[in-house]
Amino acid sequence: MAKKSHSIVSELRSMDLNLLVALRALLDERNVSRAAEKSGLSQPGMSRALQRLRSMFNDPLLVKSEQGGYEPTPRAEAIDFALRQVLFDIQNIIAPPTFDPALAKGDFRILALDYELVVLLPKIVSRVRNEAPGLNVWTIAPKMMNTQEGIDFSPLIKGDIHLILSAFTYTHSGIYRQKLMEETNVCISSVNHPDAGSHPFPLEKLVSLDHLWVDIIGPDPGAIDETLAMCGLSREIKLSVPSFLLAGYTVATTDLIAIMPRRVMQPFEDAGLISIMEPPIELPVFTIYQYWHERYNKDPLHVWFRKLVLDVARTFN
């Protein structure tokens, strides 16, 4: 089988496949001049192409008819349909693929922390259910890294996932990144907290009360505490939890306060569980990105899904 395949490839290398386009024109027009015009060739050029085709097929292919012009030989008639199909298939291979989300099937895998999932996923899934009901969406928790990248991006490089949604910045050859939206930090407390509803939250309370913190990548609280330190301030962290959802529920039922991203806490305030308050100092703003590998950059399904995610993110801006 391998030898036969090698033989076919060798034969194709020795052929000028452009001659098949000329043959298609000749069979359609049965006239050298009209076939030349249709193919963008000169008449002498088409005549030379016909001679080469006759040599390739070891057959006259077209012979002069009594009515003028040419008529196909039995060999030409035998290959007519196959030639039309081959050229049609080649055109489909080369042409940009069309994509209809309503017909999409399969799985689309997203890696993200609970912030991105809580804020973006419900609207993403709603759109997918309406526009691509045959598509399955799988969300995967990232492996955390005590590095600048924060999360392990290797599943994206390996092709195990299709998309990463993250506030962590990452650069790597073959990885694309697109900004989705910016997020601000706010102060939160239980609705029963004595300072609930204060706008802005009192600065003296911000640094004197006990805090909860979401521990994602390690013991360093990062940008918020760096900002406080620049103002000569610090906070006392009494509890760390591994997710924003747990943070919201814990603050709602304790006297702890926290500095958290606004949008992920909004459902808790809407449910009457916590109070969201503006901070007394300017706190860092962070950006959410979507990342993908170059292997999917022009894939029609992936292009459609990325645009959907971007559209959803823009509804928050």
CB atoms near residue 46 (< 10 Å)? 24
Residue boundaries of the structural domains of the chain = 12-94, 102-182+287-315, 185-283
Q: Give residues with Cβ within 8 angstroms of 75, minimum separation 6.
A: 57, 59, 61
Q: 102-182+287-315, which class in CATH?
A: alpha beta
Q: What is the DSSP letter of 101?
A: G
Q: What is the pLDDT of residue 219?
A: 47
Let me know if the fold of 102-182+287-315 is the same as that of 185-283. Answer: yes
Rounded distance between C-alpha atoms, residue 114 and residue 112, angstroms: 7
The backbone region for 58, taken as left when phi is positive above 0, alpha when psi lies in -120 to 50, beta otherwise, is: left
Cβ atoms of 206 and 191 closer than 8 Å: no
Superfamily grouping for domain 185-283: Periplasmic binding protein-like II (3.40.190.10)
Q: Are strands 185-190 and 274-277 parallel, antiparallel or unpaired?
A: antiparallel
pTM above 0.85, yes or no: no
Run means of pLDDT, 10 residues per run, the chain, 317 residues = 53 72 90 89 91 91 84 91 87 79 95 93 97 96 69 90 92 93 95 91 91 73 83 91 94 96 95 95 92 94 97 92
Report the CATH fold assignment for 12-94. Answer: Arc Repressor Mutant, subunit A (1.10.10)
Cα separation, 73 vs 125, whole angstroms: 59
d(CA 31, CA 17): 21
Q: Could you give the C-alpha distances from 67 to 23, 137, 205, 293, in angstroms and in order? A: 21, 64, 102, 61
Write down the pLDDT at residue 268. 96
The whole-angstrom separation of Cα 120 and Cα 114 is 10
Residue 130 CB: number of other CB atoms within 10 A? 10
